[in-house]
Amino acid sequence: MSLYGRDILSIADLTKEELLFLIELSKKLKRKRQKINVLEGKSIALVFMKPSTRTRISMEVACYELGAHPIYIHAQTTQLARGEPIKDFARVLERYVHAIAARVYSHSDLVELAKYARVPVINLLSDWEHPLQIIGDMLTIDEKIGLENARVAFVGDGDNNVAHSLLLACALLGIEIRIGAPKGYQPCAKIMEQAKKLAEKSGAKIVVTDDPIEAVKGVNVIYTDVWVSMGMEKEREERVRVFRPYQVNSELVKHAAEDFIFMHCLPRHPGEEVSDDVFESTHSIVFDQAENRLHSAKAVLLALLSETIPDV
């Protein structure tokens, strides 16, 4: 299977078979972690408009272990900070590098980059989606319980980038997904329309409810994310008030399967979206998730930038 030269701006840019291929490739790269120079001579621009820990470090290490040269670019140190149009930035950058991976505030900036750059563009996070996070998450779920056995609940802000990509991935793979979110914070109509179309094909079950107990009832995967994402600080007081009943805590998880796993893409806000007793429990696999960001990043880079996938 070849994804050579493709963009990945959304999980929905992939077919079910392509997503499963990336998960399997991630597994292979993880089992035999070593430096392979299959991308030697290639340079990859890592453009960051937002702060990052896991995404930046996993991408830099992924590039290094594949033999590529990562170039970290903070947008504020470029002419973008002085108003250079994205389309001009894209047409310059593509002359220097073999791929552009970008972490942005607005998804429209990624779309503009992909429109004008003739090299692959990878979404490292936007206000709309977080596909590389979810590829790593699907790898983690598969390792822990098997994708075929998963019943997933996302509790909290259902209209954020992680929830959107998780919903689309589950719909693509035929996994039951429940979103427990307050009214006004449930997945947007466009994402729901995409997810329903994918679910019709895969047989996935999608439930959206404002009852957090109903969302987690009987599930074996509980996922949450921060209530106040970057750029939403002015809404903090209202969001904390609205989402308080949706905290993942010891009372809520009693309604899940006994062997449930807890997931969070990090960073967390202690005392808010998840209580410490759940976060630090044996059910929590958040640091396995964080590790898998490296292996899935390597799989994506290898698939997009190598015409043939080496035997790893």
Catalytic, 103? Answer: yes
Cα 296 to Cα 138: distance, rounded to the nearest angstrom: 10
Q: β-pairing, 69-74 with 99-103?
A: unpaired
Question: Is 225 among the catalytic positions?
Answer: yes
In the set 56, 130, 164, 295, the catalytic residue is 130
Query: Of residues 63, 151, 265, 295, which has the active-site annotation?
Result: 265
> For residues 121 and 125, what is the distance between their CA atoms, to the nearest angstrom?
12
Q: Which of 54, 103, 239, 295 is catalytic?
A: 103
63 is catalytic: no
> Which residues are bridge partners to 49 per DSSP?
none
- The one catalytic residue among 63, 133, 194, 239: 133
Q: Which of 54, 178, 239, 293 is catalytic?
A: 293
SS3 letters for the chain?
A: CCCCCCCECCHHHCCHHHHHHHHHHHHHHHHCCCCCCCCCCCEEEEEECCCCCHHHHHHHHHHHHCCCEEEEEEHHHCHHHHCCCHHHHHHHHCCCCCEEEEECCCHHHHHHHHHHCCCCEEECCCCCCCHHHHHHHHHHHHHHCCHHHCEEEEECCCCCHHHHHHHHHHHHHCCEEEEECCCCCCCCHHHHHHHHHHHHHHCCCEEEECCHHHHHCCCCEEEECCCCCCCCHHHHHHHHHHHHHHCECCCHHHHCCCCCEEEECCCCCCCCCECHHHHCCCCECHHHHHHHHHHHHHHHHHHHHCCCCCCC
Per the annotation, the verdict on 151 as an active-site residue is: no
Name residue, tokens 């709309």: 128
Q: Do 253 and 283 contact (CB within 8 A), yes or no?
A: yes
Strand partners of residue 72: 46
The single residue of 157, 225, 239, 247 carrying the catalytic annotation is 225
- Whether 265 is a known active-site residue: answer yes
Residue count (the chain): 312
Would you state the structure tokens that stand for residue 106, as one six-digit string? 């607005």
| Catalytic sites, residue numbers | 103, 130, 133, 225, 265, 293
